[in-house]
Amino acid sequence: NAGVTQTPKFQVLKTGQSMTLQCAQDMNHNSMYWYRQDPGMGLRLIYYSASEGTTDKGEVPNGYNVSRLNKREFSLRLESAAPSQTSVYFCASGGRDFTDTQYFGPGTRLTVL
């Protein structure tokens, strides 16, 4: 039981490049989330998916797109990376909704030059 896994662990991009961050969970959770964490700050929600086939914007969705490929997988895409997107990205999964405990992956450290 691996919990929540994320790939890659580290990535360096140049401004304008695109990339997809992958996330998978094996806990049969309905909800999945993408957050970003900037230095010295808490997490901010980018997008979430309450169930397979649905996605919704969070607090900071601009510059990102997501895909809930199936119940296990939830990917985050940066179409044209910008230096302001330099951050640590965390994927999480949870039960029914936000009232449930969330389980976090180890994070992806992204630097955009």
Partner 1 sequence: SQQGEEDPQALSIQEGENATMNCSYKTSINNLQWYRQNSGRGLVHLILIRSNEREKHSGRLRVTLDTSKKSSSLLITASRAADTASYFCATDTGRRALTFGSGTRLQVQP
Does the protein bind partner 1 through residue 99 (CB under 8 A)?
Answer: yes
Say if residues 89 and 21 touch (Cβ distance below 8 Å).
yes
Give me the 66-95 binding string for partner 1, x by CB under 8 A, dash otherwise: ------------------------x-x---
CA dihedral 103, 45, 32, 7 (to 10 degrees): -80
- Of the candidate spans 22-30, 39-47, 63-71, 73-81, the one that interacts with partner 1 by CB under 8 A turns out to be 39-47
Does the protein bind partner 1 through residue 19 (CB under 8 A)?
Answer: no
CA dihedral 13, 38, 58, 76 (to 10 degrees): 30
What residues line the site for partner 1 (CB under 8 A)? Answer: 4, 35, 40-45, 48, 50, 56, 58-59, 90, 92, 97-99, 101-107
